[in-house]
Amino acid sequence: MGYSIKLTEKLNKHDYDDINLLQNICFEVDQTALKLELAYKLGRSEGSDPSLNNINEFMYYEKDNLVGYIGIGDFGGAALEVNGMVHPDYRRRGIFKRLFSLVSDEWNKRDTKNMLLLSDPNSIAGREFIQYTGAHYKNSEYEMFLKRNGKTDSIMHNVTLRKASNKDAEEIARQNAVYFDIEYKEEDITLPEEDERCGLTAYLAEIDGEMIGKVNVQLLDGVGGIYGLGVLPAYRGKGYGRAILTWAVEKLKESNAKEIMLQVAVKNNNALNLYKSCGFEVTSTMDYYEISR
């Protein structure tokens, strides 16, 4: 038998290198985006996240070569995120279906009722597989990179940002529920200091001691990421979102980020217009399809 399947809770450096190599091969052929979160997962493997007690990584090897991969992303929300790929020379052999059956078995062992399948809309293989699963379209997300100098905010409107600690975990979860229209659940709370060990740092925005919003920044492999940016409803329309975004961009530049990116829901026109006005441009789109049980 020339193949083997490796299942593991978390990535090590060898896994990371194998998956990254396969991702690069697939991109050269397909020119379509994947959302694997490899660097974040590698950093997370050092922590004590309870989701790492479950099988999250599914790898299919032909001899010593990784030719198929699916990863589960469990970020504390209402659904698991699933994304993967097969080497172009090994497609149409049932490899992805074999791995996905193992993913489904793992999902059935967990309490999470929903699973999101991710695919670039330009991926023919991705669309065909999602149709096979019967998943239903849920939403789409743009990935944007900073390409030019846009309209920024140097005054900051008296906004101050401070690094979040574990004491702020409930406040961050409460804000996320507002920004992303998700149910606030105590069991889904993540600890900022744990995330920071994985490279993702949360900052809370305040004015005169009043909480007005938040943002997460991350620097991995020279790429700076801005995530979870939001302003509480009572403080919107006053330029605070632009001020927080400007601060995050400058923070990453000070850390020598070679590129800066963020993600935004396609339907979020207000945020999309803000990001475009600050010099960000859409580079790819990711569609999300949902399966429920």
Together in a domain, 231 and 126? no
Together in a domain, 278 and 153? yes
Together in a domain, 191 and 261? yes
Does 113 map to a domain? yes
Tokens describing residue 54: 């479950």
Q: Specify the residue for token string 């991702």.
A: 23
Contacts of 53 (CB under 8 A, 6+ apart): 9
Tell me which residue range forms the domain holding 127: 3-134
Does 24 map to a domain? yes
Question: What's the per-residue H, E or C state across 45-93?
Answer: CCCCCHHHHCCCEEEEEECCEEEEEEEEECCCCCEEEEEEEECHHHCCC
What secondary structure letter does DSSP report for 6?
A: E
Does 13 map to a domain? yes
CATH for 268:
3.40.630.30
Together in a domain, 122 and 238? no
Total domains in the fold of the chain: 2
Alpha-carbon span 223 to 242, nearest angstrom:
21
Q: Give yes or no for a contact between 38 and 19, defined as CB atoms under 8 angstroms apart.
A: yes
Together in a domain, 161 and 115? no
Alpha-carbon span 86 to 142, nearest angstrom:
23
Domain end among 89, 112, 134: 134
Q: Which of 62, 65, 111, 102 is nearest to 82 (CA)?
A: 102
What secondary structure letter does DSSP report for 278?
A: T
Domain end among 134, 167, 195: 134
Together in a domain, 274 and 162? yes
Together in a domain, 182 and 64? no
Q: Is 29 exposed, middle or buried (0-12, 13-18, 19+ CB in 10 A)?
A: exposed
Together in a domain, 24 and 70? yes
What are the two backbone dihedrals, phi and then psi, of residue 56, each rounded to the nearest 5 degrees? -120, -15
Together in a domain, 171 and 116? no
Does 126 map to a domain? yes
Q: Which of 169, 109, 107 is nearest to 133 (CA)?
A: 107
Together in a domain, 184 and 80? no
Together in a domain, 169 and 194? yes
Does 89 map to a domain? yes
Indicate the length of the chain as a whole number. Answer: 293
Domain end among 108, 134, 160: 134
pLDDT in tens, the chain (293 residues): 689 999 999 999 999 999 999 999 999 999 999 999 888 888 777 655 555 678 999 999 999 999 999 999 987 667 899 999 999 999 999 999 999 999 999 999 998 899 999 999 999 999 999 999 999 999 999 999 999 876 655 555 689 999 999 999 999 989 988 888 777 667 667 788 888 887 889 999 999 889 999 999 999 888 999 999 999 999 999 999 999 999 999 999 999 999 999 999 999 999 999 999 999 999 999 999 999 98
Does 290 map to a domain? no
Does 291 map to a domain? no
Together in a domain, 178 and 119? no
| Interior/surface letters 84-99, b for 16+ CB within 10 angstroms, e for the rest | bbbbeeeeeeebbeeb
